[in-house]
């Protein structure tokens, strides 16, 4: 399946609703491995279905483990501490939660195994784990650069007569991998692991120990620096186990429940599948939000955010120690843009060796938005971004699911956000953008389309004023392009030159005034000759493409009324209300004739009717963005209505929708 190159997110004005979280990646992959190594079968519910769990499942399959789907549950038939396949080539993708514990388990069991991944996996260090395993006699070789995958595993000669030392300050996953695998070798003796350096991401190690306990292995620890796997330990299936919702992924929705209220329009956002009893450290993200001023509700099986506490206008800033919430901490780098003071995230050195160098990536992409960012080896400071400094940006995601998911929250700011390569979310949350869209409340758009002189502009301007919304007269953009083309002598069939002109249109609309650079061009663009030229060049696909971003960039809080020919079909297909305004040609010609005469332009009704019919024909018959009602547009024939009646009707429809 291919995924799009980019995803444009509509600017948001609020959020609200409930999200059922997908299963936790960290728990899913640990449970799969433990169930595979156990004696007995395990029925797993709530298992995450994503790239990283598929990597683990494919590896277990290659190792001879039988896994069956039983409705929504996954049944893993344990192999009693010994994989049936003694040799295999395993593709690990970019799944750190798969390669590390599998490396440890396979190295302890011995065999002929090759583990390789995507290029980024081959840049992620694994040397500390390999050193620890080699120190007890495991046979592991590097297939490329020493210290990094790919790895080749053979049959070693185990000697576990002294404590095994492993570094804990690069990734806690090395320690977790040893804890998950070493019970395989603890039949006859206690096994002791000592952590060198300060243990980071301790909650993940706690999670590992809790899951091991469910599978019959009870680890003792001293101050989270020394761990003892008791003699006689062996994996026993608990029969059934449920995977919690992913607490790291919860962070985006919990943040949305806060940022959504900044425009005064948000409601509660509730995430289901985690709660205060979760074994995942990242639930502490909700506590951090609380400390920063958010109103958080903790319930049984859910957490919800309800905006900010009374009296607070923004989230607080300050220094936040993120050592216990390394993944959810990325979300704080985005909420920091909306805070009242700079936010400094510390204890995030592990970001450097994740799917990408997350400190560098975060700093680069926040800077694109206009933010002021400072970074060090294990910290990041993000300054609040005032509304006037936001810049629209195409956010690179570095094949890192969390970069893509975090930056979706930037759409609460006043800029257009494009997420490049959004398909990377499939690593842990394939349906993320659908789930996000379900709780996001985009800045509302009322799209008014219809033929010339049907009254679109008049009605749209009245609506915008009545609702306090911004107003986009999209015809102005085509007219301005036509006017400049006339002045610069560009032929109306020179598509490339016209598109270049449109792309850099120096246009500014203020109230009813249209500025082209320093010139007030409000009258110049309204002549019939310019209108006809606009209608001709508007049939050119490249010109339409060139004007698309400009039109969309005008969608700003609190809302937009947009009139034109393709507002509801092309430019704002997600408009909350679409109206297709018509009137018969005679009525429209009379209106336009009256308009022109009142401006002192001499013409006849016959002439106006003729030009109007020509324009109708061109607008409806062109091959791209032809004038037609959107499928979900409400038709309104205004032939027998006056302006007030028409506006009244549209306002009534709007109130029913909002």
Between 98 and 570, CB nearer to ligand L45E5XJ5:
570
Query: Of 327 and 563, which CB lies nearer to ligand ATP in the complex structure?
Result: 563
Omega prior to 587 cis, within 30 of 0: no
The verdict on whether residue 30 carries a ligand-binding annotation is: yes
Minimum CB separation of residue 626 from ligand L45E5XJ5 in Å reads 9
- Is 358 annotated as belonging to a binding site? yes
Q: Closest residue (Cβ) to ligand ATP?
A: 455
C-alpha distance from residue 521 to each of 143, 404, 466, 506 (Å): 68, 42, 26, 11
Binding mask 592-631 for ligand L45E5XJ5 (x = CB under 6 A): -----------------------x---x------------
Q: How many CB atoms lie within 10 A of CB 385?
A: 23
Out of 260, 349, 384, 475, the only residue in the binding site for ligand ATP (CB under 6 A) is: 475
CA–CA separation, 41 vs 357, rounded Å?
39
d(CA 176, CA 166): 10
Which of 99, 385, 507, 641 is in the footprint of ligand ATP by CB under 6 A? 641
The least distance separating ligand L45E5XJ5 from the CB of residue 550, rounded to whole angstroms, comes to 12
- 66 labelled ligand-binding: no
Site map (CB under 6 A) of ligand ATP, residues 572-601, x = contact: -------------------x---x------
Is 454 near ligand L45E5XJ5 (CB under 6 A)? no
Helix (H, G, I), strand (E, B) or coil at 454: coil
Minimum Å gap between C-beta 566 and ligand ATP is 12
Look-up: residue for tokens 């389309």? 449
What residues have CB less than 8 Å from 214, skipping those under 6 apart?
34, 238, 241
Identity of the residue, 456 or 622, whose beta carbon is nearer to ligand ATP in the bound complex: 456
Give the DSSP H or E segment for 597: helix 585-598
Q: How far is the CB of 525 from ligand L45E5XJ5 (least distance, A)?
A: 8
Pairing of strands 343-346, 318-321: parallel
Find the binding residues for ligand L45E5XJ5 in span 562-581 (CB under 6 A). Answer: 564-566
Choose the stretch contacting ligand L45E5XJ5; rule: CB under 6 A; options: 101-109, 210-218, 381-389, 559-567: 559-567
Q: How far is the CB of 640 from ligand ATP (least distance, A)?
A: 8
> Shortest distance, CB of residue 479 to ligand L45E5XJ5, whole angstroms?
5
Q: Which stretch binds ligand ATP (CB under 6 A): 48-56, 282-290, 567-575, 635-643?
A: 635-643
Q: Provide the annotated active-site residues.
A: 327
**Binding at 566: pick from ligand ATP, ligand L45E5XJ5, none (beta carbon under 5-8 Å per type):** ligand L45E5XJ5
Alpha-carbon torsion, ordered 280, 286, 291, 292, to 10 deg: 130
- Could you tell me how many residues make up the chain? 658
Contacts with ligand ATP in 435-474 (CB under 6 A)?
450, 452-459
Tokens 């220094």 belong to residue: 319
CB nearer to ligand ATP: pick between 99 and 587? 587
Which of ligand L45E5XJ5, ligand ATP, none interacts with 619 (beta carbon under 5 to 8 A by kind)?
A: ligand L45E5XJ5
Q: Is 233 annotated to bind ligand?
A: no
Give the Cα separation of 291 and 285 in Å (integer): 10
User: Please, what's the b/e burial string for 154-165 (b: 16 or more CB within 10 A of its CB; e: otherwise)?
Assistant: eebeeebeeebb
CB of 615 to ligand L45E5XJ5, least distance (A): 5
C-beta of residue 424 within 8 angstroms of C-beta of residue 401: yes
The tokens describing 133, both together, are 């395993």
Do the annotations mark residue 25 as ligand-binding?
Answer: yes
327 assigned ligand-binding residue? yes
Interatomic CA distance for residues 577 and 447, integer angstroms = 6
CA neighbor of 201 nearest in space, from 353, 75, 64, 86 = 353
Nearest Cα to 102, choosing from 89, 112, 93, 115?
Answer: 115
Three-state SS for 92?
coil
In the numeric block, the tokens 């800045």 are attached to 443
CB 349 within 8 A of CB 378: yes
Give 190's contacts (C-beta < 8 A, 6+ positions apart).
228, 229, 230, 231
Shortest CB 431 distance to ligand L45E5XJ5, Å? 33
Q: Count residues near ligand ATP (CB under 6 A).
A: 18
Task: Give dist(CA 452, CA 510) in Å, integer.
Answer: 23
Site string for ligand ATP, 517-556 (x = CB under 6 A): ----------------------------------------
| 165: Cα within 13 Å, side-chain hemisphere | 3
Per-residue H/E/C for 391-438: CCEEECCCCCHHHHHHHHHHHHCCCCEEEECHHHHHHCCCCHHHHHHH
CB of 456: closest distance to ligand ATP in angstroms? 4
Pairing mode of beta strands 318-321, 294-299: unpaired
Identify what 646 binds: ligand ATP, ligand L45E5XJ5, none; CB under 5 to 8 Å per kind.
ligand ATP
206-265: contacts with ligand ATP (CB under 6 A): none
- Environment class of residue 617 by beta-carbon count within 10 Å: exposed (0-12), middle (13-18) or buried (19+)? exposed
Q: Which is nearer to ligand L45E5XJ5, 402 or 615 (CB)?
A: 615
Phi/psi at 85 (5° precision): -85, 125
For residue 367, the minimal CB distance to ligand L45E5XJ5 (Å) is: 34
Partner from ligand ATP, ligand L45E5XJ5, none binding residue 535, C-beta < 5-8 Å depending on class: ligand L45E5XJ5
Question: Which does residue 514 touch among ligand L45E5XJ5, ligand ATP, none (CB within 5 to 8 A, set by kind)?
Answer: none
Q: Considering only residues 469-488, where is the footprint of ligand L45E5XJ5 by CB under 6 A? A: 474-475, 478-479
Task: Return binding residues for 3-phosphoshikimate.
Answer: 25-26, 30, 171-173, 201, 327, 354
Site for ligand ATP, rule CB under 6 A: 450, 452-459, 475, 563, 591, 595, 638, 641-643, 646
Binding site for ligand L45E5XJ5 (CB under 6 A): 452, 474-475, 478-479, 531, 534-535, 538, 564-566, 615, 619
The binding site consists of 25-26, 30, 96, 124, 171-173, 201, 327, 354, 358, 402, 427, 450-458
């Amino acid at each position: 399946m291919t995924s799009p190159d980019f995803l444009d997110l509509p600017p948001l004005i609020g959020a609200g609703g409930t999200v059922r979280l997908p299963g936790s990646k960290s728990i899913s992959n640990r449970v799969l491995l433990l169930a595979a190594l156990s004696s007995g079968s395990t029925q797993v519910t709530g298992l995450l279905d994503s790239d990283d769990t598929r990597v683990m499942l494919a590896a277990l399959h290659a190792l001879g483990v039988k896994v069956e789907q039983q409705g929504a549950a996954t049944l893993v038939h344990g192999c009693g501490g010994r994989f049936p396949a003694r040799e295999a080539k395993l593709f690990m993708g970019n799944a750190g939660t798969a390669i590390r514990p599998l490396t440890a388990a396979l190295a302890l069991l011995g065999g002929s195994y090759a583990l390789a991944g995507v290029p980024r996996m081959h840049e992620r260090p694994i040397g500390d784990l390999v050193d620890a395993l080699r120190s007890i006699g495991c046979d592991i070789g590097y297939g490329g650069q020493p210290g990094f995958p790919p790895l080749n595993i053979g049959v070693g000669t185990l000697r576990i007569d002294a404590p095994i030392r492993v570094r804990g300050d690069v990734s806690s996953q090395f320690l977790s991998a040893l804890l998950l695998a070493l019970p395989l070798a603890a039949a006859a003796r206690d096994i002791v692991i000592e952590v060198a350096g300060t243990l980071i991401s301790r909650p993940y190690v706690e999670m590992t120990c809790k899951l091991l306990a469910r599978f019959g292995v009870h680890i003792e620890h001293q101050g989270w620096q020394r761990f003892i796997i008791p003699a006689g330990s062996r994996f026993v299936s608990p029969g059934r186990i449920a995977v919690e919702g992913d607490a790291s992924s919860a962070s985006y929705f919990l943040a949305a429940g806060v940022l959504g209220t900044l425009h005064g329009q948000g409601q509660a956002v509730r995430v289901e599948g985690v709660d205060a009893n979760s074994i995942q450290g990242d639930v502490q993200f909700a506590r951090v939000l609380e400390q920063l001023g958010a109103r958080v509700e903790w319930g049984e099986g859910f957490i919800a955010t309800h905006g900010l506490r009374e009296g607070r206008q923004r989230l607080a800033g300050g220094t936040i120690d993120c050592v216990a919430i390394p993944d959810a901490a990325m979300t704080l780098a985005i909420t920091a843009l909306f805070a009242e003071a700079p936010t400094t995230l510390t204890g995030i050195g592990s970001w450097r060796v994740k799917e990408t160098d997350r400190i560098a990536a975060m700093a680069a992409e926040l800077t694109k938005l206009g933010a002021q960012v400072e970074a060090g080896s294990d910290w990041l400071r993000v300054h609040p971004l005032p509304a006037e400094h936001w810049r629209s940006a195409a956010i690179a995601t570095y094949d890192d699911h969390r970069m893509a998911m975090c930056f979706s929250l930037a759409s609460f700011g006043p800029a257009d956000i494009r997420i490049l390569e959004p398909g990377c979310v499939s690593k842990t949350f394939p349906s993320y953008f659908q789930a996000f869209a379900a709780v996001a409340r985009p800045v509302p758009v009322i799209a008014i389309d219809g033929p010339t002189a049907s009254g679109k502009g008049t009605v749209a301007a009245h609506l915008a004023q009545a609702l306090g919304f911004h107003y986009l007269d999209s015809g102005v953009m085509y007219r301005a392009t036509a006017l400049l083309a006339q002045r610069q002598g560009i032929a109306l069939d020179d598509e490339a030159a016209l598109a270049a002109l449109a792309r850099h249109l120096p246009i500014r609309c203020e109230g009813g005034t249209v500025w082209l650079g320093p010139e007030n061009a409000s009258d110049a663009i309204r002549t019939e000759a310019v209108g006809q030229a606009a209608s001709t060049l508007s049939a050119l696909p490249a010109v339409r493409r060139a004007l698309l971003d400009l039109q969309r960039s005008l969608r700003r809080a609190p809302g937009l009324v947009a009139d034109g020919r393709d507002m509801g079909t092309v430019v704002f297909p997600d408009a909350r209300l679409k109206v297709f305004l018509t009137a018969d040609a005679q009525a429209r010609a009379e209106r336009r004739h009256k308009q022109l005469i009142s401006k002192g332009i001499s013409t006849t009704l016959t002439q106006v009717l003729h030009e109007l019919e020509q324009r109708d024909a061109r607008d409806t018959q062109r091959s791209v963005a032809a004038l037609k009602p959107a499928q979900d547009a409400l038709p309104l024939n205004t032939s027998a209505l006056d302006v007030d009646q028409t506006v009244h009707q549209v306002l009534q429809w709007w109130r029913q929708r909002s």
